[in-house]
Amino acid sequence: MKNIVFVCTGNTCRSPMAEALFKSILEAEGYDGKFTCSSAGVYAFEGDNATYEAIQAMTKFGIDISEHYARTLNFEMIKNAYIILTMTRNHKRMILDVYPESADKVFTLKEYAGYTEDDWDISDPFGYNLEVYEACAEEIETVLLKILDRL
């Protein structure tokens, strides 16, 4: 099975939403069993919950992430990943600064989906209202649907 790791800053908003949405998409499209996916943050506080707004935004998709706990990206995750999809160019840069040997499998989510470089970042909804989180989740879902065939 191919292991996909979604990465953001604190692993409480974007990457857990991406992980949950992708699992839902894989199941709906008949891909479950072909991939595993997880999420982590480059600056996560281990054990933090997903934000309230992220949990609420995901209910719009019929997904419950209330049991999500933040994890910090580590060497084992990188080593075992088929591909690592970051939410921003900065996250990608941070990973490659520490793990340059992983360059062939680290991409921004939007880069992997074929977006132009000036549009590779998914904005952080942290600190904003539920509508911003919902828009972020919708953007992530749109991009995830574009990468399915590429995997």
User: Strands, DSSP E only, in the chain?
Assistant: 2-8, 35-41, 83-86, 106-108
Q: Is 8 a catalytic residue?
A: yes
User: What separation in angstroms does the CA of 53 have from each of 5, 22, 64, 65, 115?
Assistant: 22, 19, 12, 11, 27
Q: Is 124 a catalytic residue?
A: yes
Which residue out of 32, 71, 121, 124 is catalytically annotated? 124
Instruction: Find the helix or strand (DSSP H, E) in which 131 lies.
Output: helix 130-147
**Contact yes or no for 44/11 (Cβ under 8 A):** yes
The Cα–Cα gap between 78 and 93 comes to 14
DSSP3 helix / strand / coil % (the chain, rounded to 5): 50, 15, 35
Q: Is 118 a catalytic residue?
A: no
3-state secondary structure of 72: strand
Which residue out of 8, 13, 37, 136 is catalytically annotated? 8
Which residue out of 13, 14, 37, 71 is catalytically annotated? 14
Looking at the annotation, which residues are catalytic? 8, 14, 124
